Structure 1
Amino acid sequence: MSTTTATPADAFEHGDPKRYRRGCRCQKCRAGANADNIRRRYLRQTGRGTKRTPDRAADHILRLRNAGLNDKTIQQSAGICPDVMYRILRREGTIHVRTETRITSVPVPATGGPSGSRAYIPGCGTVRRLRALVAAGWYAAELARRLGKQKENLKQIIHRGEDGQVTQRVADDVRALYAQLHNQKPEDHGVPRRYAERARQMAAARGWAGPGYWDDEEFDDPDFQPAIDDLAVKRNDRAAVRRAEVEHLEQFGLSEHEIADRLGMAYSTVRNIVLEIRSGQKRVRPRERAVA
């Protein structure tokens, strides 16, 4: 994660309010801060305050996106951090007039890269490919890193549903990434096992089918739906096999951590299975208890 170093007080002249706010309490800086406060108060009283609603800035960011600029480029050009940008896009709170000016001063490109890259197309196939990768253990932050996108932007695409739209460029990038990763195990490429397991569990809870349940042309066919019932049956079969493996290893006196390492399973999952085996009763999970 990149970090930004705060500008030190010495970067500003004595008398500049910014130097005062960074700790300088000399006479000139106190006078400059007082004058700045008087000016701000006057502007507020005359209806010319320094705060604005985020609407104008948000609209301009959307125009920049539509022109083909990615979020990182927009942030660097406008001198804003990701948190500020996404708060503006959610149209929350207010922003400083200088922030609005920096954003609206970023020029909208006349062309957005390769021909046709700005065209919007149905996002069904893109969303399905991303969800299939999540089901395989590729968590959103890792996918965003490989696509050169912000995590929040990618999560919006994944979670907004198959009825949305994406640019042709995004669709092409996701298609290429899927071709590269769909038959690869995340743990073999530096992804921590706990993150991969968490992604798989989230996808399973939402009924997202993994790569094994799709042919490539089926992703873009809105009338095709993977056999979710078959998916659940196969998942239950796999769970039964894992349970039998845990029970077998547990009989040899292996610890739960050792069993988890041998089977490539999460420790918490092994722990729950062992407790069920020892108690002779299936543990009721919160979701099952709520349904009951």
Structure 2
Amino acid sequence: MTTATRQAPHHRTLTCYTDYKCRRPECVERYNAWGRERGRAITAGTWQPLRDAEPIRQHLLTLHAAGITIHRVAKLTGMPYRSIRSFTQHDYGNTAPRRRRVTHEVAEKILAINLEEHTPGHVNPIGSQRRIQALAAIGWPSIYVARAAGIHPSNRTTIFSRPTMRASTAQRIAAAYDELRHKKPERNGIRPVSVKRAKKRAADRRWPPPQYWDEVGAIDDEYFTPEYGVTKREIVAQNANEVMRFSGLDRQAAAERLGVSKAYIDHAFRDHPQYAVEVAA
């Protein structure tokens, strides 16, 4: 399983030195060169460290409308997802407002993304699937999400059964998600029984709510496996299962390998029998 971790320094930007305290010689030299250039510009009266972020926001909105998601932009630029998102949205896990100023370096990276070069006709549906599921977790039945996205309700199931989907459809679902996630379904015409049913279905299937995806920043990442609602005991059961099957260890040896007691593994297997195993086959 994949867990959410802080993105490592890229050794290509100043944040490597300033935020991560990297002291590779090439990173130190990059920072020193920037400092020298800054000093010369200040002396000459030409120092302009920041620029207006509005052109960046408009470019991101254009890319998004064409099916190039914020996560995709983050991959193309090598920047963190939340940094890119801050140009178009408030940081909902925080109180930070939408970004208004930006460094020249960041601006150039984002503006360098060419629409024609990267626009997909079809995209992986995982982001749309997760958005529909996240809205269900806060009470929005999928039929209402489909209507808000301009999709015929009878077609919403195909999003979960086909390997790809139209980028334009994915964009409409993303727009509906951004709109509905901040509204209470009960206050917008959804019957309480429907809200309760949607939430229960999401809870039974461990569908993360929008707040979870805000935190991990990987809603469009097909290689990310969410661990929302997964307990430590279940993780131990999964790990013990793998260790015992692939290493041929018994429960006692597996417990020592994992740093827990044999009793803990016994309890983990009891609570999650789908992972229970005695020895490797």
- TM-score past 0.5 threshold: no
> RCO (CA 8 Å, sep 6+): is it higher in 1 or 2?
2
- Normalised-by-shorter TM-score class: 0.3 to 0.5
TM-score (structure 1 length as normaliser): 0.37
TM-score (structure 2 length as normaliser): 0.38
